[in-house]
A and B are shown apart, each in its own frame.
Chain A
Amino acid sequence: MSAAIEIQSVTKRYGALTVLDDISLTITPGEFVVFLGPSGCGKSTLLRMIAGLEAVDAGEIHLGGRRIDTLAPGQRGVAMVFQSYALYPHMTVAKNMAFGLENIGLEAAEITRRVTEAARVLEIDHLLDRKPAKLSGGQRQRVAIGRAIVKEPMAFLFDEPLSNLDAALRGRTRLELAQLHQRLGATMIFVTHDQVEAMTLADRIVIMNGRKIEQIGTPMDIYHRPKTRFVAEFVGSPAMSMLPVAAVTAESVEIAGLGRIAAQLPGLSGFDAAGAVLGVRAEDAHVLPADQSGLPFTISVVERLGDRTLLYGRLGTVCDLVVEDTGRSTAVAGQTVSVGFNPAALHLFDAAGRACDGLGG
């Protein structure tokens, strides 16, 4: 069972502080949506408003066509997995999962069936009689997910559920979450500040920053067609480099103090180049062979990742830049080389940080 979630002009204030300002968002049934943004941008707050743990100051939230922001948390048909897991320490694993079902008066046989089934799926059947204190972090995590599954909710809410796991386990659990989503086909909202989690799990990513939604889109959309400078810099590792722009035409960009580079920039009409920047991802910048001329780049750090090499340095004396080179790169720190850019993958942002329409590949 899965349902659409509709967030309509939702606002949240703490006293004089507005944390979320007029947020609207529609999530289709069965969609896996990730709220991504820096710490403190209000991701948890928005999730908790859907769960009913925070009051909604203005606007409405609908789930499966029913208005839920006026209902008690337990009445909304959502299940939540907390970052801390929030298992009941004095109850066994089985009891942890059964407790919510007992509260709604579900008959014992059905409770047992659901708990057994969830435990089997999550491979925690051998742990059912243990207390949470006797479980590893990964096992607790599974129990927390199990407690959500048995409720057969219309939507699952996850608040940074992987952040307490070590790196290896996080990767595995991420994969399992993706599989779980496929199997259940349920609507899921997942909050994280980790872009890898967002990119790998999401059908759509909602990038949040400073009380607002910056952009909503598929991971590829967000990565290749960032609508704002914030999104461009927040997503992608290493972060996108920003080059100061002096002037633009449809075929080229003049980098302030350095010269022109080729660029394919359709839809430039009305674009104000004053204070604009040109965003370049490391993989779209490359070291040119000795016989080609480009912009001068002085390498300060060479980071060898095996399959590729990242060169950190300065473009002329103007700005920092990261350039990707091959794994067998011969570059050394201190060297000055010529760099070129992929004209089809450049991102132009105006002084307010808005992307020039039709940019990028």
Chain B
Amino acid sequence: MAKTYAPTDLIANRRLYWIAAGLAVVMMAPVLWIIGLSIKDNAELMRGTQQVFSAPYTVVNYLNILKSSNVFGWFLNSLIVALGQTVGVLILSSLAGYAFARLEFPFRRTLFVIVLFGLAVPEQVVIIARHQMFNWFGLHNTHIALILPGLSSAFGVFLMAQFFRAIPRDIDEAALLDNTPPFRIFWRVLMPLTLPAQATLGIFTFLLAWNDYWWPLISATKKEMFTLTIGIASSQTNFAQSEGLGFLSAQAVFAALPIVVVYIFFQRHIVTAVSGGAVK
């Protein structure tokens, strides 16, 4: 049988493979390090972190999370904020994106340009004004305060508008001829077609919200309103962090769990999202 044609150069591919493997090790090392630290006794780590490489190992740090720390409360706060933002962003971006893509209304183009400007405005520019606003309304130290700013997602509106635009109008028109009421066209005909975009946007929003540090740091000043990021940072007691290193690491691992879960369940969508293609 004739040798089949190989479309890509295998040698080059193998080299890429090793480079990727090397990078993966570099990426994974700190993660493994933290996991290692988290299963060591705090006192033992005081003597030196090389103890990670030898037994005994323990789950006592994780048990301490369950028992004593505020981590559970913070975890819950993070979950409420991240889910709240995700759901809110998906709803608002879908509605706004649909409107920009399909409806005729005054100043549609101008408004869209303004939305796009939102992409270019960094959080730093607005944060003081935002802080004052929330102060006036007395909203600080509430979940609402942590969720609200994240809902105006210029990226989300832009993404959804582009996605709705990419759906041929023939589909809407077929639905019109099929006697479909307007909202049902949006909900039953077009929305299901945007699922890939919803997944992308949802994952990004969730991860961003979960990892957000700055706004919760400003808005949540009471310990019980901390999100995980703020909470864990606040449990860093001394500069060198020689005490309680195992416990801190366990908290970090615990905080990362939802992210890991999201990655595992939505891996396919994340790859699609990051590589920016394959929208069907």
Contacts and interface: CB of A to CB of B under 8 A. Distances in A.
Contacts of B170: 82-84, 86
A83 B168 CA distance: 12
Contacts of B193: 89-90
A99 interface: yes
B179 A80 contact: no
Interface string A129-169: 00001000000000000010000000000000000000000
Majority-rule SS of B interface residues: helix
A74 interface: yes
A104 B176 contact: no
Contacts of B179: 74-75, 100, 103-104
Contacts of B189: 88
B178 interface: yes
Contacts of B181: 103
B180 A82 contact: no
Please indicate which of the listed interface residues A75, A80, A87, A133 has the most CB atoms of chain B within 10 Å of its own CB. A80
Contacts of A53: 173, 176-177
Contact of A100 (B173, B178, B192): B178
Contacts of B177: 51-53, 73-74, 78-80, 100
Interface string B172-216: 011111111100100001001101000000000000000000000
Interface of A: 51-53, 72-75, 78-80, 82-84, 86-90, 99-100, 103-104, 133, 147
Interface in B194-243: 195
A86 B173 CA distance: 8
Contacts of B91: none
B171 interface: yes
A189 to B, nearest CB: 14
Nearest to B184: A103
Interface residues of B, number: 18
Contact of A86 (B174, B180, B192, B280): B174
A90 B193 CA distance: 7
Nearest to A72: B176
A64 to B, nearest CB: 17
Contacts of A80: 173-174, 177
Contacts of A82: 170, 173-174
B272 to A, nearest CB: 16
Closest 4 CB pairs of A and B: A74-B179, A100-B178, A86-B170, A86-B174
26 contacts: A51-B177, A52-B177, A72-B176, A73-B176, A73-B177, A74-B176, A74-B177, A74-B178, A75-B179, A79-B177, A82-B174, A83-B170, A84-B168, A87-B174, A88-B174, A88-B175, A89-B171, A90-B192, A100-B180, A103-B178, A103-B179, A103-B180, A103-B181, A104-B179, A133-B280, A147-B178
Interface in B45-73: none
